[in-house]
Amino acid sequence: MVLENYKDLKNSEKQEVASYFNGTGFERWNRIYSDTDDVNKVQKNIRIGHQKTVDDVLVWIKDSNLIEQSSFCDAGCGVGSLSIPLALMGAGSIAASDISESMVNETRLRAEKIGIDMSKMKFNISDLENLQGSFHTVICLDVFIHYPQKAAEDMVRHLCSLAEERLIVSFAPYTPFLALLKTIGQFFPGPSKTTRAYILREKGIVQAAETSGFSVLRRKLNQAPFYYSQLIEFRRSND
């Protein structure tokens, strides 16, 4: 599909994101998404908040009783914080992809270390725009922070085109409070400032999914100081 608004997200900006997550960003987020004590207070809070998001997704998926028959796409998989527990829960298959080679390699390494059945996992170094295929469930957690509003809406439409039944996304929601924090530089403080952080209006995200034939099944706002993430599960509408 043509991502018309993707031009809002300049190629140079995407390159910056990729090289950040292959370098200092990888080192930083690999520590945040682990149980090492080598994190500061802000990073620890981000870890706690992010874990709430991952746990909610796993509960929602468990609720639906479709794990073993289902194919999953974990788009922007990071170090496998979702893909790995999903595999342990018995997911039919998981396609884990990320723009960062370091992130994908770390996901593979962690999965191997834990003894996951690798025949069920596929790894791919790819940005979201180039993802192809058809999956029962597509999940994209905390990646839209790198997408301005229109590009994020385009991306929702693209991810809907890959999802047979279900799309789960999370993003930093636009609220006057977060907008203020962002303005004064307190939102995603520290080294992550090296990449731009976008906060998104939920209405546009929901409308993008609705025009692609999906509707909201449930939503949850997860917060910890320095972590704000709106999680939404969309289901393909029957009508």
Ligand X SMILES: C[S@@+](CC[C@H](N)C(=O)[O-])C[C@H]1O[C@@H](n2cnc3c(N)ncnc32)[C@H](O)[C@@H]1O
Number of helices (H), then strands (E), in the chain: 8, 7
- Amino acid found at 128: L
* Cβ 30 to ligand X shortest distance, Å: 10
* Cβ 167 to ligand X shortest distance, Å: 14
Q: Which residues bind ligand X (CB under 6 A)?
A: 14, 17, 21, 29, 33, 76-78, 81-82, 98-100, 103, 127-128, 141-143, 146
Q: Comparing C-alpha atoms, which of 158, 198, 160 is closest to residue 8?
A: 198
Going by the DSSP 8-state scheme, the letter that residue 125 receives in this structure is E
Which residue matches tokens 């976008």? 198
Residue 186 or 237 having the CB closest to ligand X = 186
* Cβ 34 to ligand X shortest distance, Å: 11
Going by the DSSP 8-state scheme, the letter that residue 143 receives in this structure is -
* Cβ 158 to ligand X shortest distance, Å: 11
Residue 27 or 215 having the CB closest to ligand X = 27
Residue 155 or 206 having the CB closest to ligand X = 155
* Cβ 197 to ligand X shortest distance, Å: 10
Q: In what order do the strands lie in the sheet with 93-98?
A: 121-125, 93-98, 71-75, 135-141, 163-171, 227-236, 214-224
Q: Give the Cα-Cα-Cα angle 74, 237, 76 (nearest 5 degrees).
A: 15
Closest residue to ligand X, based on beta-carbon distance? 78
Residue 62 or 215 having the CB closest to ligand X = 62
Residue 76 or 173 having the CB closest to ligand X = 76
